[in-house]
Chains A and B, each alone.
Chain A
Amino acid sequence: MSNDKSNKMETAGASALDGRSGIAAKPFDVAAVRAQFPVLHQNVHGQPLAYLDNAATSQKPAVVIDAVRTYYEKDNANIHRAVHTLSERATSLYEGARRSIQKAIGASSSKEVIFTRGTTESINLIAASYGRSVLSEGDEVVISTMEHHSNIVPWFMLCEEKGARLRVVPIDDKGDLDLDAFAGMLGPRTKIVSMCHISNTLGTINPLKEIIRLAREHNVCVVVDGAQGIPHVKINVNELDCDFYAFSSHKAYGPTGTGVLYGKQHILEKMPPYQGGGDMIASVSFDKITYADVPAKFEAGTPNIAGSIGLAAALDFLEQLDYGVFPDYEDELLAYAHDQLQQLDGLRIIGQAKEKTSVISFIIDRIHPHDIGTMLDNEGVAVRTGHHCTQPLMERFNVPATTRASFSFYNTREEVDQLVAGLKKIMKVFR
């Protein structure tokens, strides 16, 4: 049974609900978009599901699910190996996905697109390969207070190994990066700057252009953790001029277990391999091994072929949905949610940066986020509670945990209302 909710602002005709073309009519037709996401149409604990945990992982549109299923039903074989037809097809689909992703993110060559398991592996790859070769004792790596653990731990481990220093750029009470402090930290010992594009907990959009401009003045390599970027913002890595951009498929409406590391080709070519195995070599003997060229050099073993094909389909879906349209809808939804939540007595929003995406972390006096999460689930509302893999950030705001509602373009004002009504109920129980 469908319990799809159309947005009050929109009119959704029957034809618009036939959304398999992937193209939404303007103004943003949320009902037509929702129709393309099978998982959204269900009840949880007897209530219509309001999925507000999109910063953890997004749901998948039918075109992505179909792309994965079609691959397994018709084309599955190992890539780059055999001469038989299915292997040729699988290879062509996999490399086609790489070219498609290259175009979507504005890279110069498909050789700059390396498939990984996700953002975490992408950053680990940079730290283990690039980081290990450029860092010496006394050198510095610069990150920020708002980083996800996946952009802290690999650098911490590397700095420990090398006797290097991890420096952390502070943020202000609203959740904005302290750019002056950042500029002050850059110097001759700085070798790597690694920052998130968008904070998964606060929603802060970092001023990447400014960060990169400042880093360039000191010839510092810039890594961008784009896990939360791709789902909300159109990326052009060439215009941005970052050295690396890491992102995950599953947060951008693609399958789990797949991600991308974009890197500038001339840097990738100089980097040593990350893992050893099949597919990353040109030739092997027991005396000498010649490594393959990029990107194969960084893709040891059979990759997640279906995942890569699914990711390409997801980015294509976002392209058709139009980065010129859906982010505005998400911004409207964010403003509405901010407004509604702020009216609740005892609720405090953590993260009110000047530029932010549709993520709201909040705390409520005397009610622990974990209790809020369990009780909201009972109302059909899925939110994330805890430290969101950003423990140092929790410490910065002096809270053990927050409740986080993160919105996608398929969410509606009615779902925001459902969240607010749920919170009011909870406040009554704990009063």
Chain B
Amino acid sequence: MNSELRDLYQDIILDHNKNPKNFRRMENATLHAEGHNPLCGDKLELFLRVENEIIVDVSFEGEGCAISKASASLMTTFLNGKSLSEAMAVFDGFQKLVTVESEGDADFESMGKLAVFAGVREYPSRIKCAILAWHTFKSALDSGGNESTISTE
């Protein structure tokens, strides 16, 4: 692999793809949303349990490419225990991280492990894959407990 591709498929992404964290249904979720990426057929179901504005549990199910699966997996590890306002700040940071136009502005330091997704900038057609889980998360919050389906198209 050349260095650009190596940046996209870092070991941490391949690991999370192979052994995703929090990959399960949640029976007592308070928020739930589905995300679709029609271009590649990715489907994602996200479950959240929010108590007193704090995310106390988060999990997902679905199928997708390595980038979308690893992104969902890492997102769940990152969101667990965060307050909703903290989570929204990370959502905004992640958008900047993977968007080509914002190159230079993004604060990689605060993003921790999520910074591995900066490599996706070199692959515009794959940005949707990285961002699907996060859009699904936002959609779950916006739904306020109602069923919700979003699409990256």
How distant is A362 from chain B, measured CB to nearest CB, in Å? 15
> Interface digits, A164-178 against B, CB 8 Å rule (1 contact, 0 not)?
000000000000000
How distant is B17 from chain A, measured CB to nearest CB, in Å? 8
A374 an interface residue at 8 Å Cβ cutoff? yes
The docked-state distance in angstroms from the alpha carbon of A391 to that of B17 is: 24
A370 an interface residue at 8 Å Cβ cutoff? yes
The docked-state distance in angstroms from the alpha carbon of A367 to that of B63 is: 11
A190 an interface residue at 8 Å Cβ cutoff? no
Q: B79-126: which have CB < 8 Å to A?
A: 123, 125-126
A430 an interface residue at 8 Å Cβ cutoff? yes
> Interface digits, A362-386 against B, CB 8 Å rule (1 contact, 0 not)?
0000111111001100100000011
The docked-state distance in angstroms from the alpha carbon of A368 to that of B70 is: 12
Q: B121-148: which have CB < 8 Å to A?
A: 123, 125-126, 129
A218 an interface residue at 8 Å Cβ cutoff? no
Complex contacts, A375 vs chain B, CB 8 Å: 1, 5, 9
Q: A389-410: which have CB < 8 Å to B?
A: 391, 394, 400-401
Question: Is the beta-carbon distance between A46 and B2 smaller than 8 angstroms?
Answer: yes
Which of B5, B18, B42 is the one whose CB lies under 8 Å from A400? B42
The docked-state distance in angstroms from the alpha carbon of A227 to that of B112 is: 49
How many chain A residues touch B (Cβ–Cβ < 8 Å)? 20
How distant is B37 from chain A, measured CB to nearest CB, in Å? 9
Which of A45, A367, A386 is the one whose CB lies under 8 Å from B40? A386
Most chain B beta carbons < 10 A, residue from A46, A366, A401, A430: A401
Complex contacts, A400 vs chain B, CB 8 Å: 40-43, 63-64
Question: Is the beta-carbon distance between A385 and B40 smaller than 8 angstroms?
Answer: yes
Complex contacts, A14 vs chain B, CB 8 Å: none
Question: Is the beta-carbon distance between A386 and B123 smaller than 8 angstroms?
Answer: no
Question: Is the beta-carbon distance between A429 and B65 smaller than 8 angstroms?
Answer: no
B-side interface mostly: mixed
The docked-state distance in angstroms from the alpha carbon of A294 to that of B63 is: 50
Question: Is the beta-carbon distance between B1 and A368 smaller than 8 angstroms?
Answer: no
Question: Is the beta-carbon distance between B41 and A378 smaller than 8 angstroms?
Answer: no
Complex contacts, B8 vs chain A, CB 8 Å: 374
Which of B1, B38, B126 is the one whose CB lies under 8 Å from A429? B1
Question: Is the beta-carbon distance between B41 and A430 smaller than 8 angstroms?
Answer: no
How many chain B residues touch A (Cβ–Cβ < 8 Å)? 24
Question: Is the beta-carbon distance between A401 and B2 smaller than 8 angstroms?
Answer: no
Complex contacts, A374 vs chain B, CB 8 Å: 5, 8, 123, 125-126
Q: A29-48: which have CB < 8 Å to B?
A: 45-46
Residue of A nearest to B39 (CB): A386
Complex contacts, A387 vs chain B, CB 8 Å: 38, 41
Complex contacts, A367 vs chain B, CB 8 Å: 66
The docked-state distance in angstroms from the alpha carbon of A430 to that of B123 is: 19
Which of A371, A385, A386, A429 is the one whose CB lies under 8 Å from B67? A371
The docked-state distance in angstroms from the alpha carbon of A29 to that of B8 is: 40
Question: Is the beta-carbon distance between A370 and B2 smaller than 8 angstroms?
Answer: no
Question: Is the beta-carbon distance between B2 and A45 smaller than 8 angstroms?
Answer: yes
Q: B1-55: which have CB < 8 Å to A?
A: 1-2, 5, 8-9, 14, 17-18, 38-43
* Given A386-B40, A401-B41, residue A370 in contact with residue B1 (CB < 8 A): no
* Given A45-B2, A430-B14, residue A368 in contact with residue B39 (CB < 8 A): no
Complex contacts, B2 vs chain A, CB 8 Å: 45-46, 378
The docked-state distance in angstroms from the alpha carbon of A287 to that of B146 is: 55
The docked-state distance in angstroms from the alpha carbon of A396 to that of B30 is: 34
Question: Is the beta-carbon distance between A370 and B40 smaller than 8 angstroms?
Answer: yes
Most chain A beta carbons < 10 A, residue from B8, B17, B41, B123: B41
Residue of B nearest to A394 (CB): B41
The docked-state distance in angstroms from the alpha carbon of A386 to that of B14 is: 20
Complex contacts, A370 vs chain B, CB 8 Å: 40, 42, 64-65, 67, 126, 129
The docked-state distance in angstroms from the alpha carbon of A46 to that of B2 is: 10
How distant is B109 from chain A, measured CB to nearest CB, in Å? 28
How distant is B113 from chain A, measured CB to nearest CB, in Å? 20
Question: Is the beta-carbon distance between B66 and A368 smaller than 8 angstroms?
Answer: yes
The docked-state distance in angstroms from the alpha carbon of A394 to that of B149 is: 21
The docked-state distance in angstroms from the alpha carbon of A386 to that of B9 is: 19
Complex contacts, A386 vs chain B, CB 8 Å: 39-41
How distant is A383 from chain B, measured CB to nearest CB, in Å? 13
* Given A370-B65, A400-B63, residue A429 in contact with residue B41 (CB < 8 A): no
Q: A345-370: which have CB < 8 Å to B?
A: 366-370
The docked-state distance in angstroms from the alpha carbon of A368 to that of B41 is: 10
20 extra A-B contacts, CB within 8 A, seeds A391-B41, A401-B40 = A368-B65, A370-B42, A370-B64, A370-B65, A370-B126, A371-B67, A374-B8, A375-B5, A378-B2, A378-B5, A386-B40, A386-B41, A387-B38, A400-B41, A400-B43, A400-B64, A401-B41, A429-B14, A430-B17, A430-B18
The 4 closest A-B pairs by CB, nearest first: A400-B41, A368-B65, A370-B65, A401-B41
Q: Name 19 interchain pairs, CB-CB below 8 A, sorted by A.
A: A367-B66, A370-B126, A370-B129, A371-B67, A374-B5, A374-B8, A375-B1, A385-B40, A386-B41, A394-B41, A400-B40, A400-B41, A400-B42, A400-B63, A401-B40, A429-B9, A429-B14, A430-B14, A430-B17
